[in-house]
């Protein structure tokens, strides 16, 4: 049987060209691993519906290569799993809700079409949180079964692209599509020891994705290496007339981005770039040393920073006034998510037309009470008297962060993605992440989400208990290529990526 552990895009396509194995054999090897370890055995539970035509599609790609001597596109024959938030033609797509267990879209999301055009083989769908809005991996469509962390089966994988994170980490695919509103790519990337990029919203179309906050939502690539992440991004960005936010993609193209025609063009210069970089450390968002969970994260992240400092990277401490306020107050889940989700449901006449008719106001499952609150928010966000102020303060925060980076000449800001390691399953229900009756999950990912900046999570290392920890780098709008190059340097110098323990 073909060994697909840690295989990259380049290695796979070299195998195709040299006749070592075919795209069909590669897809089959991943599907076999999914059957053995995801659907049975350890039952990681990272996947949902699987394609019934993937092997046939891979065979067509093999025939194309044999007939033409050429690859069909940048992702020729590369297996991809897609977060179940995105419509995928002919496959059950649930958006993380039991109400959509029988929903089979008749067309692909814009991004899925782009990936297929690039030659990707879509293997299936990955688990996500309920309506992509919960910090834990459970959802009604899979009867609230956790997705297990491949590095410790008693721990969760994070929200809400957790299935994508676990599947990439466990070598069930080479690439996966994630989506990030408040941290849903970066949290599972950190928890699963992989690379995940949140691009500037509007670089990648959201057409065919069930939204959460349209002004913050963005799909993005998840992979085991920075290079694969960059190559996947190439095949995801682009203008879509059905998503007016992709004016950002049109602007990026007009600016000549990515330089050199690919986000991967200059990655090998990333080692020199990180050594010469000036990075701002946001120590305000490191957890207290008095908390052993936070101390474990701090130890790993600071060790990574010291290793980079020893290599030549300049680090400076930065301070942002009222940071805790700015990272929380401008969030508009409670004000506009109901309206945004309902606008998507309006395109699915066979589903309920109001999420308030799907979820109760209060659930017996505490981890979805925030989702229930979202579902019963105002029908029109403008009906909330705080909405305008939140938008104004959001934009004020963005200006403060922009000016901080520019005035200090920083290449990026850095901080832990999350202040604690991957939580245990029981933490979803035992009140650990509740404060004064409100959900208080210790993520740092809102910094980039509120400012709508790009951010990348790179493996930083492991706690003494063997739990993965990620380090996040935040840049300015349109700095995806810059961040990827920095991340390549981090990946090369720190070298924290490793496969999950046996038998995976």
Let me know: does 239 contact 203? Beta carbons within 8 Å: no
Beta bridge pairs of residue 80: 122, 175
Tell me the backbone φ, ψ of residue 419, rounded to 5 degrees. Answer: -80, -5
Both structure tokens of 73: 């596109």
Query: What crossing angle do the helices spanning 226-234 and 9-18 adopt, rounded to 10°?
Result: 80
Close Cβ partners of 2 (under 8 Å, ≥ 6 residues apart): 21, 25, 26, 28, 29
**Quick one: how far is CA 397 from the chain centroid?**
23
Does the annotation count 184 as an active-site position? Answer: yes
Catalytic-labelled residue, pool 22, 133, 137, 184: 184
Both structure tokens of 497: 């990526």
Distance, in Å, from the CA atom of 316 to the CA atom of 265, rounded to the nearest integer, reads 29
Judged by phi (left if over 0) then psi (alpha if -120 to 50, else beta), residue 269 lies in: alpha
| HSE-up of residue 422 (Cα within 13 Å, Cβ side) | 37
Let me know: does 204 contact 234? Beta carbons within 8 Å: no
Does the annotation count 160 as an active-site position? Answer: yes
Does the annotation count 343 as an active-site position? Answer: no
Specify the length of the chain in residues: 504
Catalytic-labelled residue, pool 22, 51, 74, 83: 83
Close Cβ partners of 352 (under 8 Å, ≥ 6 residues apart): 99, 345, 358
Nearest Cα residue to 503 out of 128, 40, 138 = 40
Catalytic-labelled residue, pool 51, 160, 189, 190: 160
> Which residues does the annotation mark as catalytic?
83, 160, 184
């Amino acid at each position: 049987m073909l060994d697909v552990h840690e295989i990259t895009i380049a290695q796979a396509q070299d195998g195709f060209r040299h006749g070592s194995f075919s795209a069909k054999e590669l897809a089959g090897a991943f599907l076999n691993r999914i059957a053995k370890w995801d659907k049975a055995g350890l039952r990681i539970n990272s996947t949902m519906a699987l394609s019934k035509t993937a092997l046939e599609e891979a065979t067509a790609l093999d025939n194309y290569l044999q007939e033409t001597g050429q690859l069909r596109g940048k992702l020729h024959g590369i297996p991809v799993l897609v977060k179940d938030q995105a419509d995928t033609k002919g496959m059950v797509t649930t958006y993380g809700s039991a109400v959509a267990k029988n929903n089979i879209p008749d067309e692909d999301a814009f991004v899925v079409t782009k990936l297929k055009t690039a030659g990707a083989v879509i293997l299936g769908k990955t688990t996500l949180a309920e309506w992509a809005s919960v910090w834990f991996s459970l959802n009604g469509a899979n009867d609230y079964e956790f997705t297990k962390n491949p590095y410790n089966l008693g721990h969760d994988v994070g929200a809400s692209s957790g299935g994508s994170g676990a599947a990439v980490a466990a070598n069930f695919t080479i690439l996966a599509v994630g989506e990030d509103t408040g941290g849903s790519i970066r949290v599972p990337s950190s928890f699963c020891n992989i690379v995940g990029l949140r691009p500037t919203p509007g670089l990648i179309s959201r057409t065919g994705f069930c939204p959460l906050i349209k002004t913050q939502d963005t799909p993005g690539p998840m992979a085991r290496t920075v290079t694969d992440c960059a190559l996947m991004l190439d095949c995801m960005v682009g203008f879509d007339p059905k998503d007016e936010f992709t004016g950002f993609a049109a602007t990026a193209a007009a600016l000549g981005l990515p330089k050199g025609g690919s986000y991967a063009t200059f990655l090998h210069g990333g080692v020199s770039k990180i050594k010469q970089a000036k990075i701002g450390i946001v120590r305000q968002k490191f957890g207290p040393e008095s908390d052993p969970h936070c101390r474990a994260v701090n130890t790993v992240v600071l060790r990574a920073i010291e290793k980079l400092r020893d290599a030549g990277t300049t680090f400076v401490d930065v301070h942002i006034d009222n940071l805790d306020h700015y990272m929380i107050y401008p969030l508009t889940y409670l004000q506009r998510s109901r309206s945004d989700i309902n606008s998507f449901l309006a395109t699915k006449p066979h589903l309920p037309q109001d999420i308030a008719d799907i979820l109760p106001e209060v659930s017996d499952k505490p981890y979805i009470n925030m989702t229930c609150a979202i579902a019963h928010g105002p029908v029109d966000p403008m009906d909330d008297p705080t909405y305008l102020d939140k938008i104004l303060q959001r934009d004020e925060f963005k200006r403060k962060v922009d000016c901080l980076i520019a005035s200090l000449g920083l290449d990026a800001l850095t901080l832990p993605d999350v202040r604690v390691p991957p939580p245990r399953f029981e933490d979803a229900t035992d009140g650990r992440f509740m404060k004064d009756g409100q959900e208080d999950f210790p993520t740092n990912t809102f910094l980039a989400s509120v400012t709508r900046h790009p951010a990348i999570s790179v493996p930083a290392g492991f706690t003494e208990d063997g739990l993965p920890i990620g380090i996040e780098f935040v840049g300015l709008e349109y700095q995806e290529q810059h961040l990827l190059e920095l991340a390549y340097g981090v990946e090369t110098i720190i070298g924290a990526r490793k496969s999950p323990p046996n038998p995976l």
